[in-house]
């Protein structure tokens, strides 16, 4: 089973780019972030016609997450538990049925800038809620993963120019600590289980020629429970997508599972 997480930066603006990618790269499951659409505005029929089951959790204007799957999805839930008053659509879960059942948590973690400030407080509070859900996934002792745009640069080696990001919400110590605490509960970060060293990025800003200069950062991650990590075959970043026509500012991050 091949699963990709992909922040698409607007499903309606990206429909041609996304369709071409699906045809060429053929994910069994695509976990999408920043659909920037309400559920009723999502081009559901278009992707169903391409052979995908569609599950969305959208809102007006910003945020929004969705699954496109060629395999059956069960037990879909929407919203990160822990704050019933949180209106932001940043979390959707489903169980995908392959040769094994895998629980998939699709997340768009708050950016948090400017930091410090209320947006940064929201980011850190959201990560506390994420840690609670993460512990429950581990307690279940089943194959599960949490994938998406974490808006976290885990280490300096994950940025082409770490000095630029030092005070940014994506790299501040509190952000990195919160991410590391979740990892240390017992998760495996799929990419670092397979590839070491600097120079691997999943996002390049639209501004200042970031792609041409390879001024990237690695902020899209896949965290796996032990039962899921045992199924990991490979993990890779499809960086070449950033050079295509009308690209997102993020690229897909893939895991292949023996499932």
Task: Please tell me whether 113 is known to bind a ligand.
Answer: no
Q: Can residue 246 be called a binding residue for DNA (CB under 7 A)?
A: yes
149 assigned binding-site residue: yes
Beta carbon of residue 54, minimum distance to DNA (angstroms, whole number): 16
Q: What is the DSSP string of 22-57?
A: HHHH--SEEEEE---S-GGGS-HHHHHHTT-EEEEE
**Cis omega before residue 51 (within 30°)?**
no
CA–CA gap between residue 10 and residue 27 (Å, rounded):
19
- Residue 129 in the binding site for DNA (CB under 7 A): no
Least distance in angstroms from the C-beta of 206 to DNA: 3
Sheet harboring 91-97: ordered strands across?
Answer: 73-78, 91-97, 101-108, 144-149, 220-224, 188-189
Q: What is the CA radius of gyration of the chain?
A: 17
> 151 near 220, Cβ under 8 Å?
no
Known binding residue 7? Answer is yes
Residue 244 binds DNA, judged by CB under 7 A? no
| Residue numbers annotated as active site | 108, 149, 250
Are 59 and 38 a contacting pair, CB within 8 Å? Answer: yes
163-202 residues in contact with DNA (CB under 7 A) are: none
**Considering the rule CB under 7 A, would residue 46 count as an interface residue with DNA?**
no
> Using the rule CB under 7 A, is 12 a contact of DNA?
yes
Is residue 106 close enough to count as binding DNA by CB under 7 A?
no
Q: Does 60 bind DNA (CB under 7 A)?
A: yes
Q: How many chain residues bind DNA (CB under 7 A)?
A: 25
Considering the complex, state which of residue 90 and residue 103 has its C-beta at the smaller distance from DNA: 90
Could you tell me the sign of the dihedral formed by the alpha carbons of 220, 194, 31, 238, in that order? Answer: positive
151 is in an annotated binding site: yes
Asked if residue 15 lies in contact with residue 52, where contact means CB atoms within 8 angstroms, the answer is: no
Kindly list the residues in this chain that would bind DNA in the complex (CB under 7 A).
9-14, 36-38, 60-63, 110-111, 113, 119, 151, 205-209, 212, 246
Task: Cite the annotated binding site by residue number.
Answer: 7, 34, 149, 151, 249-250
Task: Cite the annotated binding site for Mg(2+) by residue number.
Answer: 7, 34, 149, 151, 249-250
């Amino acid at each position: 089973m091949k699963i990709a997480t992909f922040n698409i930066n607007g499903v309606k603006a990206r429909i041609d780019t996304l369709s071409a990618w699906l045809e060429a790269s053929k994910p069994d499951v695509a976990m999408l972030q920043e659909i920037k659409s309400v559920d009723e505005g999502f081009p559901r029929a278009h992707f169903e016609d391409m052979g995908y089951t569609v599950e969305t959790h959208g809102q007006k204007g910003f945020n929004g997450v969705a699954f496109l799957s060629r395999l059956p999805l069960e037990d879909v839930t929407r919203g990160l538990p822990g704050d019933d008053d949180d209106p932001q659509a940043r979390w959707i879960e489903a169980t995908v049925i392959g040769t094994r059942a895998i629980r998939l948590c699709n997340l768009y973690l708050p950016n948090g800038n400017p930091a410090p400030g209320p947006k940064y407080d929201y980011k850190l509070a959201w990560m506390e809620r994420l840690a609670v859900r993460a512990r429950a996934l581990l307690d279940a002792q089943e194959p599960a993963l949490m994938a998406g745009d974490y808006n976290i640069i885990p280490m300096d080696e994950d940025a082409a120019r770490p000095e630029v990001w030092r005070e940014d919400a994506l790299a501040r110590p509190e952000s990195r600590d919160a991410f590391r605490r979740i990892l240390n509960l017992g998760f495996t970060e799929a990419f670092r289980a397979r590839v070491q060293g600097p120079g691997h990025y999943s996002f390049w800003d639209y501004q200042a020629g970031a792609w041409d200069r390879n001024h990237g950062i690695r902020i899209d991650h896949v965290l796996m429970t032990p039962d899921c990590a045992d199924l990991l075959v490979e993990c890779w970043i499809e960086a070449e997508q950033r050079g295509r026509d009308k690209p997102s500012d993020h690229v897909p991050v893939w895991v292949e599972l023996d499932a």
